[in-house]
C-alpha cells in the first residue's frame, strides 16, 4: 500500500463541495466518492458554510446601492 501525498484543496473546490452537501440531494458517502474526499471533510465544510452564509447575506443587505448617473 503506497502512501498518498497530502492534498490541498482550493477555496472554490471547498465551496463547491459544501454547497453540494447543503443541497441534500446525495448522501455523504456519495458526495465523498464523487469529490474524492473523506466524509468528515464534507461535514466540516458544510458546518463552516452554514456559519458563514448568514454573515454574508447580512453584509449584502446593508451594502449601499450604487447611484445611477
What is d(CA 22, CA 25) in angstroms, rounded to the nearest whole number? 8
Indicate the burial class of 31 (C-beta count within 10 angstroms; 0-12, 13-18, 19 or more). buried
pLDDT at residue 10 above 80? yes
- Cα of first residue to Cα of last residue in the chain, in angstroms, is 65
| All structural domains of the chain with their residue ranges | 11-59
- Express as a percent the part of the chain with pLDDT over 90: 46
Reported as a pLDDT band with limits 50, 70 and 90, residue 3 is: confident
Q: Bigger pLDDT: 69 or 51?
A: 51
Q: Bigger pLDDT: 13 or 58?
A: 13
Q: What is the pTM of this model?
A: 0.70
Cell of 18: 459544501
Q: Are 22 and 48 in contact (CB under 8 A)?
A: no
| pLDDT the model gives residue 36 | 94
Amino acid at each position: 500500500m503506497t502512501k498518498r501525498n497530502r492534498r490541498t484543496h482550493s477555496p472554490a473546490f471547498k465551496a463547491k463541495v459544501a454547497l453540494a452537501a447543503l443541497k441534500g440531494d446525495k448522501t455523504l458517502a456519495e458526495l465523498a466518492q464523487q469529490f474524492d474526499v473523506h466524509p468528515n471533510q464534507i461535514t466540516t465544510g458544510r458546518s463552516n458554510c452554514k456559519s458563514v452564509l448568514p454573515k454574508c447575506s447580512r453584509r449584502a443587505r446593508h451594502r449601499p446601492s450604487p447611484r445611477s448617473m
